[in-house]
Amino acid sequence: MSGSSHHEHDHSLAGQVKAATGESVFNCYQCGKCSAGCPLGPEMDLAPNQVLRVLQLGLPALEEEALKAESIWLCLACETCATRCPQEVSIPKIMDYLREEALRRGVANPKAKDILAFHRSFLDSIKKNGRLHEVGLISAYKMRTMHVFQDVNVAPKLLMRGKLKILPHKIKGRDAIAAMFDRCAAASAHAGQTTGHHDEADKR
């Protein structure tokens, strides 16, 4: 689509996406193949191509709707859309940026809270044990969300079948993994300082 160079250098959401990810939403010509193949498409309030269309239009009120959408939190980063796209637009990268931006602006969809709590609990488990400890993950998730009794009847069956281990199995080299997490956190904090952005997620 023409007119892209103008948008990519202004402060529109499309321009921010381009600067942060290298992806230009103006490469999309709205064929819809991405949305047709997206496994989460039927659950989304804005289909992947519609998210791109909103960014192409560059209207602040619509951009905010995209940032408030549940879709950006439902995206699994499965890459199906990117594989199908004739223009090689990486929607997962764009969705990832939109999630960060929604948190920075404090407009994230309320349903994002549980999804974020799950991500946080998952990463904490990896940082602590070097691998996933499912029981620790579930406990941390429930504490964060207060969904204490959700799926509680499933746990005994999984424990009986040996699918859940009460104690974590820790791998060697956990210090190296924890250091990797710390480096990522420091780089993220530095990026926040240089851009003036402060992630709302840090407060959760």
The contact set with ligand SF4 (CB under 6 A) reads 28-34, 38-40, 48-49, 52, 75-81, 84-87, 89, 91-92, 95
**CB of 91: closest distance to ligand SF4 in angstroms?**
5
CB of 21 to ligand SF4, least distance (A): 14
Burial of 103 (0-12, 13-18, 19+ CB in 10 A): buried
- For ligand SF4, the closer of residues 79 and 151 by Cβ is 79
Tell me how crowded residue 113 is: count the other CB atoms within 10 A of its CB: 14
Pick from 63, 52, 48: nearest CA to 26: 52
Amino acid letter, residue 143: M
Q: Which whole-number Å values give the CA distances from 144 to 33, 61, 113, 139, in the listed order?
A: 37, 32, 9, 9
Kindly state the smallest distance separating residue 46's Cβ from ligand SF4, in Å: 10
- CB of residue 114 vs ligand SF4: minimum separation in angstroms? 17
Q: How far is CA 46 from CA 32, 77, 188, 189, in A?
A: 12, 16, 28, 31
Q: Which is nearer to ligand SF4, 77 or 187 (CB)?
A: 77
Quick one: 84 or 147, whose CB is closer to ligand SF4?
A: 84
Nearer to ligand SF4, 93 or 197 (CB): 93
